[in-house]
């Protein structure tokens, strides 16, 4: 297969309109096609175990700039560097003993670590948006690690959605939000976890929760035998934690125990609703279904109500996303 570009020159030089190609991860040549595009400075949507990412060669300034442009992402909001293994992470960040233990336990997997950037890091400046730290993650998705390994460079990849909108859990979701803004989407079906990685900041041998996810702060604290602190305790920077995020077109009402006129009710457990995050009250299942269910609800109703989800374990990450989905919008 050959890259299917409408832009006649290297995409570093122009923000082309692409015919976006969707290629299954099982198709022969999918990995080399993705690597070819990334090496040419183009964007590629990649599957991960959490949500789909919008990837570029993290060492190429112009390629990384395209991510911000395609998403309409504010330039102050840094990107996660995805690596193939711990050795690749060590080339871009300083890995303390504590960070190293976290990598041993949870990588590959849905845990992002914010660590000091190495002074000799080859990562392009816009990735860290001016901070002296970098977020690193090793995704638990074989094809994506293979792409990174073959590129021989980390890839910068935020979730593959227009800024402020719901994260994509399928290739179709990526296409719906970014069609024409990138040449290639690698399709690996439904993302298994369904919500983005847990983000932990490691600073002066302390751990800080920057974003809750399916690996919970309590679990990490127990495994490491030390607390995971609130990021506000030491004013740890988390520029991406904006109040309005994950916004569907519809309005969102939380903690709804019954449906009001004109609403579509998303249920959980005993509250059945029109559609349920998990009829059995399973929080992992609810996380897997969260963005997908809100997307579907958004297609059929202008008013969405959501049943209460217990604020414990993975429920903390689900409620974090729901709170942002329901927050007043910038343009409202």
The residues of the shown chain that bind ligand TXA, judged by CB under 6 A, are 48, 50-51, 53, 77-80, 110, 112, 114, 128, 131, 133-135, 137, 139, 157-159, 196-197, 199, 210, 237-241
Q: Is 159 in the site for Mg ion (CB under 5 A)?
A: yes
The reply to whether 167 sits in an annotated binding site is yes
Please state the closest distance from residue 157 (CB atom) to Mg ion, in A: 10
- Annotation-wise, does 317 bind a ligand? no
Determine if residue 84 is labeled as part of a ligand binding site: no
Q: Is 137 labelled as part of a ligand binding site?
A: yes
Q: Is 253 annotated as a binding residue?
A: no
In sequence order, which residues have a C-beta less than 8 Å from that of residue 57 and are 6 or more positions away?
38, 39, 41, 63, 64, 151, 153, 155, 156
Min dist CB 199 to ligand TXA, Å, is 5
| Cβ distance to ligand TXA smaller for residue 135 or 175 | 135
If binding is defined by CB under 5 A, does position 197 make contact with Mg ion? no
- Residue 208 parent element (H or E): strand 206-211
* 112 or 159: CB nearest Mg ion: 159
Give me the least distance between CB of 106 and ligand TXA, in Å please.
13
Strand, helix or coil for residue 251: strand
Q: How far apart are CA 277 and CA 292, in angstroms?
A: 9
**Separation of alpha carbons 111 and 140, rounded Å:** 10
Give the SS3 label for residue 134.
strand
Question: Nearer to ligand TXA by C-beta: 158 or 248?
Answer: 158
Give the whole-angstrom CA distance, residue 203 versus residue 291.
32
What is the rounded CA–CA span in Å between residue 5 and residue 3? Answer: 6
Yes or no: say if 36 and 3 are a contact pair by the CB < 8 Å rule. yes
28 is in an annotated binding site: no
Nearest to 251 by CA among 294, 290, 291, 207: 294
Cβ(174)–Cβ(165) below 8 Å? no
Cβ–Cβ under 8 Å, residues 209 and 228: yes
- Given the complex with ligand TXA, which of 54 and 265 has the nearer CB atom? 54
The verdict on whether residue 121 carries a ligand-binding annotation is: no
Q: How far is the CB of 170 from Mg ion (least distance, A)?
A: 15
Nearer to Mg ion by C-beta: 240 or 269?
A: 240
Q: Which of residues 71-130 bind Mg ion (CB under 5 A)?
A: none
| Segments of the chain assigned E as strands | 21-24, 44-46, 53-57, 80-82, 111-116, 133-137, 155-156, 184-187, 198-203, 206-211, 228-230, 251-253, 264-267, 275-276, 303-306
Give min distance, CB of 247 to ligand TXA, in A.
Answer: 14
Smallest gap from residue 255 Cβ to Mg ion (A) = 24
In the bound state with ligand TXA, the residue whose beta carbon lies nearer, of 153 and 265, is 153
- The nearest distance, CB 303 to ligand TXA, in angstroms, is 26
CA nearest to 213, candidates 48, 30, 83: 48
Residue closest to Mg ion when measured from CB atoms: 159
Is 278 within any annotated ligand binding site?
no
Q: Is 133 annotated as a binding residue?
A: yes
Q: How far is CA 39 from CA 33, 44, 52, 67, in A?
A: 10, 11, 20, 15
Query: Which one of ligand TXA, Mg ion, none is in contact with 59 (Cβ closer than 5 to 8 A by kind)?
Result: none
Name the residue nearer to Mg ion (CB basis): 128 or 159.
Answer: 159
| CA angle, 309 then 263 then 177, to 5° | 80
Q: Which residues bind Mg ion (CB under 5 A)?
A: 159
Q: Which residues are annotated as a binding site for L-threonine?
A: 50, 82, 137, 157, 197
Q: Which residues are annotated as a binding site for ATP?
A: 73, 77, 133, 159, 167, 211, 246
Q: Which residues are annotated as a binding site?
A: 50, 73, 77, 82, 133, 137, 157, 159, 167, 197, 211, 246
């Amino acid at each position: 297969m050959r890259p299917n570009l409408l832009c006649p020159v290297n995409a570093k030089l122009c923000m082309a309109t692409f015919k976006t190609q969707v290629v299954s991860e099982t198709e022969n040549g999918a990995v080399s096609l993705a690597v070819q595009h990334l090496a040419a400075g183009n964007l590629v949507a990649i599957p991960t175990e959490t949500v789909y990412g919008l990837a570029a060669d993290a060492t190429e300034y112009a390629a990384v700039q395209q991510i911000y442009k395609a998403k309409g992402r504010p330039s102050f909001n840094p990107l996660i560097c995805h690596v193939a293994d711990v050795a690749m992470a060590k080339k871009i960040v300083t890995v303390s003993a504590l960070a190293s233990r976290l990598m041993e336990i949870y990588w590959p997997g849905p845990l992002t670590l914010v660590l000091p950037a190495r002074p000799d890091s080859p990562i392009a400046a816009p990735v860290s948006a001016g901070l002296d730290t970098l977020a690193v993650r090793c995704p638990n998705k074989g094809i994506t690690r293979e792409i990174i390994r073959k590129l021989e460079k980390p890839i910068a990849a935020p979730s593959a959605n227009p800024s402020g909108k719901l994260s994509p859990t399928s290739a179709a979701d990526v296409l719906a939000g970014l069609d024409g803004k990138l040449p290639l989407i690698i399709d690996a079906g439904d993302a298994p976890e369904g919500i983005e990685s847990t983000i932990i900041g490691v600073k002066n041998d302390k751990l800080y929760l920057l974003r809750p996810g399916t690996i919970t702060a309590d679990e990490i604290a127990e495994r490491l035998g030390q607390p995971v602190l609130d990021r506000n305790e030491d004013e740890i920077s988390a520029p991406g934690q904006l109040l309005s995020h994950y916004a569907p077109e519809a309005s969102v009402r939380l903690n709804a125990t019954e449906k009001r006129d004109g609403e579509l009710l998303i249920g959980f457990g005993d509250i059945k609703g029109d559609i349920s995050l998990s009829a059995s009250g399973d929080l992992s299942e609810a996380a897997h279904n969260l963005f997908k269910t809100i997307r579907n609800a958004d297609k059929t109703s202008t008013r969405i109500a959501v049943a209460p989800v217990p604020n414990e374990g993975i429920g903390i990450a689900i409620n974090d996303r729901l709170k942002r989905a329901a927050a007043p919008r910038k343009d409202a």
